[in-house]
């Protein structure tokens, strides 16, 4: 496994390296600035895992990935506010608060090995940068405009129970049980919806936490979700998403 640490405080970087060595992992490279990171990632293949400090001495570490494409899994090391932390956790492998706790490090590495070693989560660095620059919750979609025959219907996001995909078309289901087609793909919807309220449980479905009626153990360590109004098909949390789902509802 190839591991890179991006951390401007060299004592902190060495401490993290020692902690990883202690659990049997070797750190291949330590980078200490935005410029150093850009130069290294341009000249080298992406590692399996990056421990990424947010604030570096010469800027925000996300600036590295405005210059280069990264396909690595990321564990953030940070000390940002509660909302930012939740966003980091939902869209990365994990985050670690400084000073890093050994048990939390082990849990984050275990999560990476179990869920992301073969399939790294796609990181939306632009969304994170917006959170850090504004210090506020980013603007998520508050309503959808739906074409119904010759009419346009406005549906508030808070009145939507879930989104799902069927026959290459995306649909929303309201809290009253009505289904309407939407033009956005589930991938685009993920970026438009507040991750506090909406979670993609599998390739076909995104659910609203406020609409969940029951959660039931299912075969192969999966979970079945019962929503208040959705009756089209079974909603199953895919096995690779179960851990993140449990973190989301906790």
Strand partners, 198: 208
- Both tokens of 235, joined, read 């909603």
Q: Is the pLDDT of residue 2 over 90?
A: yes
Q: Mean pLDDT, to the nearest integer, of 104-125?
A: 80
What pLDDT score does 133 carry? 63
Residue 41 falls in which region: left (phi positive, over 0), alpha (psi -120 to 50) or beta: alpha
Ranges of beta strands (E only) in the chain are 3-6, 29-31, 49-53, 55-56, 59-60, 73-78, 94-97, 143-148, 151-156, 160-166, 169-174, 179-182, 198-202, 205-208, 212-218, 222-227, 235-237
Q: Is the pLDDT of residue 159 over 80?
A: yes
Residues with Cβ within 8 Å of residue 20, at least 6 apart in sequence: 3, 26, 27, 105, 109
Which range, 101-105, 115-119, 133-137, 169-173, is most confident?
169-173
Question: Is the omega angle on the peptide bond into residue 99 within 30 degrees of 0, that is, cis?
Answer: yes
Res. 120 pLDDT band, cuts 50 70 90: low
Q: Is the pLDDT of residue 161 over 80?
A: yes
What pLDDT score does 89 carry? 59
pTM above 0.85, yes or no: no
Q: Is the pLDDT of residue 205 over 60?
A: yes
Residue linked to tokens 């947010």: 54
Considering only residues 191 and 243, tell me which one the structure prediction assigns the higher pLDDT: 243
**Rounded CA gap, 166 and 154, in Å?**
22
What pLDDT score does 136 carry? 53
Q: Is the pLDDT of residue 96 over 70?
A: yes
What pLDDT score does 227 carry? 94
Q: Is the pLDDT of residue 86 over 60?
A: no
Which CA distances in Å does 181 have to 65, 141, 154, 194?
35, 16, 13, 20
Sheet with 205-208, edge to edge strand ranges: 179-182, 169-174, 160-166, 205-208, 198-202
**Rounded CA gap, 200 and 169, in Å?**
16
Residue linked to tokens 């192969």: 220
For 167, the enclosing helix (H) or strand (E) is: none
């Amino acid at each position: 496994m190839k591991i890179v640490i991006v951390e401007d405080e060299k004592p902190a970087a060495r401490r993290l390296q020692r902690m990883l060595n202690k659990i049997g992992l070797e750190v291949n490279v330590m980078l200490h600035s935005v410029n150093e990171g850009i130069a290294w990632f341009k000249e080298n293949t992406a590692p399996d895992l990056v421990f990424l400090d947010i604030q570096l001495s010469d800027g925000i570490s996300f600036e590295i990935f405005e210059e280069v494409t990264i396909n690595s899994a990321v564990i953030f090391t940070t000390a940002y506010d509660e909302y930012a932390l939740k966003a980091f956790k939902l869209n990365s492998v994990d985050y670690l608060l400084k000073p890093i706790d050994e048990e939390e490090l082990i849990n984050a590495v275990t999560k990476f090995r179990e869920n992301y070693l073969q399939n790294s989560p796609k990181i939306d660095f632009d969304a994170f940068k917006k959170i850090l620059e504004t210090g506020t919750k980013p603007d998520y979609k508050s309503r959808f405009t739906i074409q119904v025959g010759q009419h346009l219907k406005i549906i508030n996001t808070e009145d939507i129970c879930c989104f799902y995909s069927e026959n290459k078309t995306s649909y929303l289901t309201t809290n009253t049980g009505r289904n309407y087609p939407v033009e956005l793909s589930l991938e685009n919807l993920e970026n438009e919806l507040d991750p506090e309220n909406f979670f993609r449980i599998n390739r076909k479905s995104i659910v609203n936490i406020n609409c969940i009626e029951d959660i039931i153990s299912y075969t192969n360590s999966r979970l079945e979700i019962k929503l208040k109004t959705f009756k089209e098909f079974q909603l199953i949390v895919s096995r690779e998403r179960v851990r993140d789902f449990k973190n989301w509802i906790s």
